[in-house]
Chains A and B, each alone.
Chain A
């Protein structure tokens, strides 16, 4: 199993350009997530999805859109890139149901290798 994969690994954009980041998982997970990580910072949730065809906003959703047309894929779009969107983007996935009363479920997230995006 490949786990969580992300495409591309690295990209340079000019201000105003658009692009789509692709995330794929082969673990049959219901939940998928997009995070960004800036230097010296933790992971901040951009958008997430609790199932095929559903998406929801996270902490920092402005300037991004997402789609989850298939269970295994979660796309992150930047319609008009800005220098403030220079970051490392991580995709993650998880199960939804708790294995036991107070055991973890979606708290156990499996991350992809990241996409490094530079916006000039």
Chain B
């Protein structure tokens, strides 16, 4: 089988740094993606890691450790507009087109 685990809720203050973790168990793991969703609207793609290490995109960074089956999304200089749900998703070898999503982490940014 396969599973992804991420915290259900995270709270942080404006201007701070927050890390959202994702651990996965899946055979044939290929890559880890991150998506953001505001208020039940359309999810939007944030980041993708297929290799170990850190990928940086502006205030957002994503990290992957394949040996630990673990990744995280790092949000810096938090803004109120970052309040949203964040989903990690895994892709697998020979499963082109199939993303398996985690249940999501709801991030609340407080003033």
Contact = CB atoms under 8 A, between A and B. Distances in A.
Contacts of A44: 101
A111 B48 contact: no
B104 interface: yes
Nearest to A41: B103
Interface string B8-23: 1000000000000000
A104 B31 contact: yes
A69 B56 CA distance: 39
A92 B35 CA distance: 13
B48 A103 contact: yes
A33 B4 CA distance: 20
Contact of B40 (A42, A58, A108, A114): A114
A104 B47 CA distance: 9
Contact of B42 (A50, A58, A94, A112): A112
Contacts of A31: 96-97
B43 A50 contact: no
Contacts, number: 76
B84 interface: no
A74 interface: no
Q: How large is the interface on B (under 10, 10 to 19, 20 to 34, 35 or more residues)?
A: 20 to 34
Interface string B68-111: 00000000000000000001010100001111111110000000
Contacts of B8: 40
A92 to B, nearest CB: 8
Interface of B: 4, 8, 31, 33, 40-45, 48, 50-51, 87, 89, 91, 96-104
10 contacts: A40-B8, A42-B104, A48-B97, A90-B43, A92-B43, A94-B97, A106-B91, A106-B96, A106-B97, A109-B99
Across the A-B interface, the 5 shortest Cβ-Cβ residue pairs: A42-B101, A104-B48, A102-B50, A111-B42, A43-B101
Interface of A: 4, 31, 33, 37, 40-45, 48, 50, 56, 58-59, 88, 90, 92, 94, 96, 102-104, 106-114
